[in-house]
Structure 1
Amino acid sequence: MFQLNGTVFMPSVLTLIGIPGLESVQFWIGIPFCVTYIIAMLGNSLLMVIIKSESSLHEPMYLLLAMLGATDMVLSTSILPKMLGIFWFHLPEIYFDVCLFQMWLIHTFQGIESGILLAMALDRYVAICDPLRHATILTHEVITLIGIGVTLRAALLAVPCLILIKCRLKHYRTTVVSHSYCEHMAIVKLAAEDIRINKIYGLFVAFSILGFDIIFITLSYIRIFITVFSLPQKEARLKAFNTCIAHICVFLEFYLLGFFSFFIHRFGFHIPPYIHILLSDIYLLVPPLLNPIVYGVKTKQIRDRISKIFHSMDPS
């Protein structure tokens, strides 16, 4: 690293300080975060094993759920080990390029998760509004193409964020990042150069993925609710609605946490920074914990399979 006019030229190492203002209690904050991560990994792994081993679950809804579980595992793994290294072992340094890679992983897998939630809304839309064509429209090949498509969309849109930082921002006022992971704006704001293009592109990525997906998920559920409430029999309406409850819960939890964190970060100027960072951490760690629990509780086929597993483990 080279010092120039009080700035650092192209730093090779950054320092993540964790949660500014709560450094004295970070060790204890790491405990619930670690427990959340372990439960999320176990829950999603169990969910994926059940879907893989049970042939009756090889349907679009469950295949998409397995993809969601894998995405959640990568997303939480991309931040928590380093975060615990800061909280527990006082290892705040991270190579600049590794930091950019972590940023790319976070953006990419957030985008993949949003795309999978859109695909799950599409699955429910076809299953309820056009049930006779569900099996022919959402084949295994189509689900594979959807998985490839949402992955490429998120991965490619996230790449320019890294290029703009690496190629345009050469001088940094400091190498100390006031965050617990390599969050895009936390890195960009360190630069001494004009960062407007970086900020604009970051907003473009957020709205072109999350905004696009939210619009079409909302339209899908408006059409689903119109179809459900037009059914003549109450039992049929309840059955159709029950198939959507788990996805609605996961959808609301992912996007509400995301937008709450986003608006607090952008407009909560009088809110302490540690609140911003805790909300960002919760946004990335809580959905991977809740998703398998929600689907395990609300989906009868998965619930029955889990019951069989635990009954087979019972020595009595």
Structure 2
Amino acid sequence: MEESVLTSVVLPAALFLIMLGMGLSLVVDDFKRVVAYPKAAITGLFCQLILLPACGFLLAKAFGLRPEMAVGLMIIAACPGGVTSNLITHVARADTALSVTLTAINSVVAIFTIPLVVGFGLEYFLDASRGIELPVLKTIGQVFGITAVPVSIGMFIRARRPDFADRMDRPARIGSAVVFVLIVAGIIAANLDILREHFAALSGVTFALNLLTMALGAVAGKLVRLPARQTLTVAIEAGIQNGTLAIVIATSILKQGDMALPGGFYSLVMFVSGAAVMFYGSRTHEAGEDEAAPAGA
């Protein structure tokens, strides 16, 4: 996919709006809540920031992905969760407050971890002669501009106009989902030939990454003895990533359409697993408020 108005303007603008919508649902307490139950938050962040990139790297090698696809997998593995993970958590009757907290914290931390993970992927999988480099400072600035800035604006609007933010919550979520689907469809349509050629590898590795990280998230939650709802939340946050951000990084920052395919394909896969988790959670947990974190959790 060559640079165009879609990759240079429409995609970043769409992500900006999606992150603005996420900001409308956040308050400062969502960032402070990590102090209330540090064990759950630390476990979730460990799965997202450490286990997820490590799994992406190992699976890229195990499946023998071509270099561009391997880097693309590293990109999606470096991205934080998005509003989709919050929605899935809510419908699955898991701990929505923890999900929002993890999404909020990880979205800020990812400004600095994305350049590290993606830079490593480029250096390891691609020959330096390809001339594809990640401008670290520029990347930090761009990721900050299309994630932290709109989230901050959304939070400011919510603080000043909570009624307006509440009214816009549902339209923002629906609009984000529609834009997200259109973006994924556009990426796939523009790269059909490459997708056909690598369909087997991409389907296998993205399913493996999604299922493995969700499983590891569940295991991690059980190992540190988190309540059932928090364990399910950690599993969801570990396996549901911001596919739109991954696509923007690949197409708008690195300007490599091939690298967007793993992110686009992963986005489709995570909706399948997300639907299964929502069905499981809604049948397993009783309706009601999210389970409160135990003291000292």
Q: When the two structures are superposed, what TM-score results if normalisation uses the length of structure 1?
A: 0.32
Structure number with higher strand proportion: 1
TM-score, scaled relative to structure 2: 0.34
